Structure formats: structure tokens, C-alpha cells
Amino acid sequence: MAIIFNEKTKEFHLFNDYLSYVICILPNGHIGNLYYGKRVSEKSSYTYLLEKRQRPLTAYVYEDDETFSLQHTRQDYACYGTGDFSQPAFEIISNDGSRLSDFIFDSYRIFDGKPSLKGLPHVYVEKENEAQTLEILLKDTVSKTQLCLSYTLFSNKPVITRNARFAQFGQEKIRLSRALSMTLDLPDSDYDWIHLDGAWGRERHISINPLHKGIQSIYSLKGSSSSEHNPFIALKRPQTDEHHGEVIGFSLVYSGNFLAQIDVTPFEQTRISMGIHPDGFEWQLNMGEIFQTPEIVMVYSDNGLNGMSQVFHELYSKRLVRGVWRDKKRPILLNNWEAMSFDFNEDKIMALAEKAKSVGVELFVMDDGWFGARNHDYAGLGDWFVNKEKLPSGINGIAKKIHDFGMLFGLWIEPEMVNKDSNLFREHPDWILHHPKRSQSHSRHQFTLDLSREDVYQNIYQQIHRLLSENAIDYIKWDMNRYMTEAFSVYYSKNHQGEIFHRYILNVYRLYEALITEFPHILFESCSSGGGRFDPGMLYYAPQTWTSDNTDAIERLKIQYGTSLVYPLKSMGCHVSDVPNQQVRRLTSLDTRANVAYFGSFGYELDLMKATPDELEKIKKQIKFYQDYQHVFQEGHFTRLLSPFHHDLVAWQVVSKDLKTVIVGIYHLLVEANGVSKRIQLKGLDKESNYLLNEKTYSGSELMSIGIVIKEEELKETYQDFSSHLLILERK
């Protein structure tokens, strides 16, 4: 790995075994992009890749030169107003109303390691030699603003991270009305673009479409990354599939409003822009102040989509998630929400906990309904003290009893929200996001606390801090059940109203950081009506996320398959629930529900009190099975094999790091009569070794080239709609 600056050619070359990224100082001092892709050999100059030609209706930078125009030059943090007519990376509004700027190269530095981003989530290194960083400093002499473009190249991964930082060093106050994390110009547009779209209950379905000329984009203006779009896009070559071909993934480490946009120009260049959504955003910078954009993680793969995903999985498991829970086995939990909703008392909780213990559950989680006047969703949010009528022993009394059973104890909170029927709101009606002269939209009868305010932040911090210090809590599920509206803060002056969304999320991060630092033993799971805030920003603080409120095993195949494009298995909370399923009324077997949920952080969300002795026995065995193979599910290499978006036969596999154990999940959606025998080729096995499957021996190469043969007649009565099989292969 190296980052090199060639003084003569003014080029920066970033390369490792997998990729090269070549940028240069353009004749006007801006930064241009010459190449990003598979590793190419080192040479002093790639300047020939700059387009220098005369074209009609073009604005040129220099009066005596009709070849250099920003419109036809690929840039690395694009600037509008001086010849590039596409949407830019940033925009500065100066005091005189001008939106022009001209950032000229000033200096650079290259150093080992990766700096952290103050107040923002980011991937990190543990040793300096894991990465090198290039920082390029540019200056706009009129507004007296500095821009620092930061690139970190990982040594043994096809990964580059980028971010931008603005600093105001002049007297003049400037306003940033757009400050994306990156733009990147690629020389052609022969790509399909991939994104993860959906809605509540069907989050992160895979969407793939060929690029067309003009703009295509996804975004969130909801105050959180949202169920509808994940802050991730990828560009793949049309022929790229799960296992072969070129793809570049872009993942924004941020949990608030975002834009991910692709613009194909009439000249078939492709500009990727990603960062905080510019709509509704404005940030005032006074002298001496800094604005830091969130981080983008770019993964280059020429091993198809699985190749890209495996890089994201490794990076996010080991260099984004932090703390003791990063490498620890995640406890198998039982959550009482689907069993009880708000309808519980201490006796019911203890009876369920005891039953949970009897089948081997490791963590009992008491969900919504334990605090204030929270007997329904009209009341209680904001009052983070126990409801003693329901739970006379208090949280600590219950925690103690559960600990005495030999289980861990977890609790649900939703600290960012308030109901009007709460002590907190009655005392502080102006603490919600709202405009005093306008109506207030509610969602699930709740309102968003104006966490951008210091007094609100302090109140919530103190309430949650007290809760965690006074009670023996091992796990917290941090929920967030609405999107933000009327994002106006009565606390801030008019010049700062464009900052509210971002200030809000910065204080969510600050709250998380304070709590995980003070209570490092607690495992946090983030949640937002299921997977409405399943993003890398959250994973930096909470090692796992509740994947979706939809727990139907068949629907979950699509949700988990899509989520796995970026996120590792152990980041996905996956629970077995009751049937008929609460969301879709579908009936599936207990086996199928577990066979899907094993591929995640495993748990249960059902009423064990109603389970038959046979079911309890089966659950016991499932828990034992997951415990035996947890290291494979949580630390192994996961590979998608057959997609639920395309086939009625779905498959995925996970291989232990030492290649000894392979677990294949096979799922039948709708079966057919007189069906075709199918083969499923496995991936990433030890090709020189033999593996044992159902007492028969197969070589690794055989399993990868010929595959496992699925014969309807051998499956007999288990071959039916929504059936599933788990194959365990052990190396001999």
C-alpha cells in the first residue's frame, strides 16, 4: 500500500493490491480525478487521461486556452459556477450573496493511520500501519475559507474512505448551503446502479436498474436514514453478478437526512454525489469554526456483489463496531413485545422470563410499556422512571430476579421522543421540534424532542444515565418510532434553522457516545420501528440493529438478503416469532422461522407461555444448535447464493473462518409439481479437502463446481411451500 505524490506531474497515486485511485492538481488548482478502479501498475503520470479538447458551448478557464474546461474535466470535489454546470459537491453563500468559490490547492500531507472524525461515526484503525491518509488543503482566497479533502486508503482491503472539512479563517461569516461528503466523476456510464429501498416492514429490498442519462437518486428528508432508502448505493457493470465482475459500493456513515445521487452527463460521464441532503440544510461558519462532513466508505470489488459485501462485513464488524461486544458472542434473547405489547405486569414478566430460562434463553428483554403512564402509545414517552403499579419490584428488583435465573436483563427505551401525555411535556411544552405559529404533526401520538438544544440533551442524558446507573441493565434496545416534521427550533435564531436536522443527529451521537463510554458493559441494539435507522452511523454506537418489525420468515428472506449487501450477519437482530405471523398472517414451521433467524443475531419474540411441550423442546434444541454454531454465524464468511428476488429456491451459506464448517440455508418459497432437480454451487470452501454431509463425503472442489444436488423426490414430505433445510458440512 502506498500514497505517493509526484511533484513534477502533480499527481497523487493511492494504491494497494486491489485498487488504484489517481487524482491530480488541475491547471487551475482544483483536484481532478484520473482513475479509480482495479490496481494498475505504477507510473509517473496518467495525465493523458485528462480530456483536453475544444467543444462548442463550453466555458473555458483561461482566455488563451480552448482546451481546459471544468465541464469536461473529471473532478474530485466538484465546484459550481466557474464552468462545471453539473450539481456540485458544495456551495458557499458569501455575505454579498455570491455563491461562487474557487478552492485552489495549497498543501498536502500524507501520514500513517486514520484520524477520527470529531463527533461523527467513522471506521477506525487499531494500528497505524492498517491505513494511510492523504489530506489535501485548498483555499478560497475571497471568502477566506479552507477546504480539507481527506482520503484514507486501507492497506489490506479494497477500501478508501473520504470526507471533507470546511474551516473559516476570514472575518466574514459564510453559509454552507451544500456540503456533501464527496463527489466522484467516473469516465463512463456503463453501469447498473443498486440501492436498498423499501418501507416499514419491507426494508432494504434490492433494486437494480441500468443507469440512464440525467439524474437518478435516493434520499431521506425524514430526519433519519429511513426504511425507504438506505444510505448506500453501488455501481456494477451490467454483466457483474453475485460472484464475478466489477462493482463499487458507496456507504455513507450517517443516520440523518442524506442524498445519494448519480448524474450521467450527455458525454456519458458519471458523477456520484453523496452526503447530507442539501434541502433544508444550511450551516453558518464564523471565523475559526469548522464544519466536518460525514464519512463515505468506498469498496471496490472485482469479485462481484458478494466480494463487495464481504469487505463491508469485515470492515464494519471489526473497524466500525466498537467496544466489548464487538468480538463477544451476542446473547440469544427473548423479547416480550410481540407476546404482550403493553399488556403486562410483574407476574406475567417473571413467568415468561422463567419459561425463557427453561429453554436456554440467555437475555430477557422487557420492551415498551414499563415506564411512566405507558399503558398504550398515547402516553409516557419522556418519563423514564418505572411504573410501580405494573412492576412493584422496580427495574432493579426485576433485573435481580432475572439475573438470579442466570440470564442477562435488557430494557427498551425511546429517549428521543415525548408524548403530550407525559410529565416531561407538561413541564416543557416548548421542548419539541415545532414552530410556535404552526400546527404540529404527530406520528404514533408522539413528538420529536428538540435534541439540538442543550437543555433538552442534558435532561434526557440525566434521565437515561440515572436509569442505567441505578439498575443492573445488560442490554438496551434504543428505539425511534417516527420521522421528523416541523423541524424548527424555538431555541435557535433564524440563521441557524438550517442546522437543526444535523445538530439533532450530532446530539443523538453524543448521547450514545456518553452512555456507551460510561456503561461499556451494556449491549446496545438500535431500532426505528424495525429497520428505519439501520445504517453504519448507528452501528458505530450500537453493535446490532433490529432488522425489521416484519418477522415473517419468508418476508425476512428478502429483508436479510438485501441487508447483507452491506451489513454483517451479527449486526442484524433476527427473531423467531409466533404464527400466524403478526404482519402477514402467514403460517410457517418453527424450523423455517429458526432457519432464517439463525443468519443474524438470534433470538425469540413469541409467547412461550402458549408454546406446546413439543414446541418448547424444539426451541431448546434450536438454542443449543445456535450456541454450538454461533462462531460460524457471527464470525464466518457469508455468501448469498440464490436470491429470493429471482427464485423460488433461495439459498445462502456461511463458512467458518478456518473453512472447517459450512452451513447452508436452503428455502423453498412456492414449490412446483414435477420440478427440475437443482444444483447449488457452494463458495469459498477448501478445495483440496473433503467435507462430510449427511455421512457422505464430497470434495471441496466438487461442492463448488458441481454443487449440492437438490432432489424433490429425496425431500419427500418436507418439500412444500415455505419449507427449509439447513445443511451442515464439516471438513474431514
Known binding-site residues for substrate equal 200, 367-368, 444, 477-481, 527, 549
Q: Mark out the alpha helices in 580-668 (DSSP H runs).
A: 590-597, 613-635
Per the DSSP assignment, residues forming a β-bridge with 15 are: 2, 20
How many angstroms separate the CA atoms of 560 and 566, rounded? Answer: 11
> Cα angle at 150 between 145 and 156, to 5 degrees?
180
Nearer to ligand DGJ, 534 or 652 (CB): 534
How many angstroms separate the CA atoms of 156 and 328, rounded? Answer: 24
**Residue 140 known to be catalytic:** no
**Residue 549 known to be catalytic:** yes
How many angstroms separate the CA atoms of 667 and 721, rounded? Answer: 9
Longest dimension (CA), the chain: 87
Q: Is 412 in the site for ligand DGJ (CB under 6 A)?
A: yes
Q: Say which amino acid occupies 99.
A: R
Nearer to ligand DGJ, 301 or 583 (CB): 583
Nearer to ligand DGJ, 299 or 411 (CB): 411
Interface residue with ligand DGJ among 140, 362, 549, 578 (CB under 6 A) is 549
Shortest Å distance, C-beta 378 to ligand DGJ: 12
Which residue's C-alpha cell is 443516520?
255
Shortest Å distance, C-beta 575 to ligand DGJ: 9
Contact in structure between 641 and 653 (CB atoms under 8 Å): yes
- Give the dihedral of Cα atoms 476, 478, 479, 480; nearest 10 deg: 170
List strand residue ranges (DSSP E) for 254-397, in order: 258-264, 270-276, 283-285, 290-292, 295-301, 333-335, 363-366
Half-sphere exposure of 317 (CA within 13 A, CB side): 25
The distance from CA 521 to its chain's CA centroid, rounded to whole angstroms, is 23
Nearer to ligand DGJ, 208 or 584 (CB): 584
Nearer to ligand DGJ, 312 or 412 (CB): 412
Shortest Å distance, C-beta 546 to ligand DGJ: 5
Nearer to ligand DGJ, 91 or 338 (CB): 338
> Among the options 421, 479, 552, 578, which is catalytic?
479
469-508 footprint of ligand DGJ as x/- string (CB under 6 A): ----------x-x---------------------------
Nearer to ligand DGJ, 89 or 538 (CB): 538
The distance from CA 297 to its chain's CA centroid, rounded to whole angstroms, is 11
Nearer to ligand DGJ, 380 or 543 (CB): 380
Query: How many other C-beta atoms can be found within 10 angstroms of the C-beta atom of residue 47?
Result: 15
The candidate with the shortest Cα–Cα distance to 194, out of 308, 341, 86, is 308
Per the DSSP assignment, residues forming a β-bridge with 93 are: 175
From 168-176, 416-424, 527-535, 556-564, span contacting ligand DGJ (CB under 6 A): 527-535
- Is residue 673 classed as helix, strand or coil in its secondary structure? coil
Shortest Å distance, C-beta 530 to ligand DGJ: 5
Half-sphere exposure of 1 (CA within 13 A, CB side): 21
How many angstroms separate the CA atoms of 270 and 305, rounded? Answer: 20
Shortest Å distance, C-beta 485 to ligand DGJ: 19
Q: Is 527 in the site for ligand DGJ (CB under 6 A)?
A: yes
Q: What is the enclosing helix (H) or strand (E) of 312?
A: helix 304-319
Interface residue with ligand DGJ among 76, 185, 368, 383 (CB under 6 A) is 368
> Among the options 263, 302, 535, 549, which is catalytic?
549
Q: Is 367 in the site for ligand DGJ (CB under 6 A)?
A: yes
Q: Is 546 in the site for ligand DGJ (CB under 6 A)?
A: yes
Among positions 250-309, residues that touch ligand DGJ (CB under 6 A) are none
From 68-76, 522-530, 595-603, 697-705, span contacting ligand DGJ (CB under 6 A): 522-530
Instruction: Please say whether the dihedral angle defined by the alpha carbons of residues 108, 127, 129 and 152, taken in this order, is positive or negative.
Output: negative
CB neighbour class for 49 (10 Å; exposed up to 12, middle 13-18, buried from 19): middle
Q: Which residues contact 195 (CB under 8 A, 6 or more apart)?
A: 207, 218, 229, 230, 232, 233, 234, 260
Site size with ligand DGJ, rule: CB under 6 A: 11
330-349 footprint of ligand DGJ as x/- string (CB under 6 A): -------x------------
- Is residue 539 classed as helix, strand or coil in its secondary structure? helix
Percent helix / strand / coil, the chain, rounded to 5: 25, 35, 45
Nearer to ligand DGJ, 70 or 333 (CB): 333
Shortest Å distance, C-beta 417 to ligand DGJ: 10
From 111-119, 142-150, 254-262, 526-534, span contacting ligand DGJ (CB under 6 A): 526-534
Shortest Å distance, C-beta 481 to ligand DGJ: 5
- Is residue 37 classed as helix, strand or coil in its secondary structure? strand
Write b or e for each residue in 586-610: b if 16 or more Cβ atoms lie within 10 A of its Cβ, otherwise e.
Answer: eebbbbbbbbbbbbbbbbbbbebee
Nearer to ligand DGJ, 193 or 546 (CB): 546
List strand residue ranges (DSSP E) for 323-381, in order: 333-335, 363-366
Contact in structure between 259 and 293 (CB atoms under 8 Å): no
Residue with the CB atom nearest ligand DGJ in the bound state: 368
Write b or e for each residue in 385-421: b if 16 or more Cβ atoms lie within 10 A of its Cβ, otherwise e.
Answer: ebbeebbeebbeebbebbeebebbbbbbbbbbbbbbb
Q: Is 530 in the site for ligand DGJ (CB under 6 A)?
A: yes
Q: Which residues contact 386 (CB under 8 A, 6 or more apart)?
A: 370, 371, 394, 395
Shortest Å distance, C-beta 341 to ligand DGJ: 8
Nearer to ligand DGJ, 522 or 685 (CB): 522
- Looking at the annotation, which residues are catalytic? 479, 549
- List contacts with ligand DGJ (CB under 6 A): 337, 367-368, 412, 479, 481, 527, 529-530, 546, 549
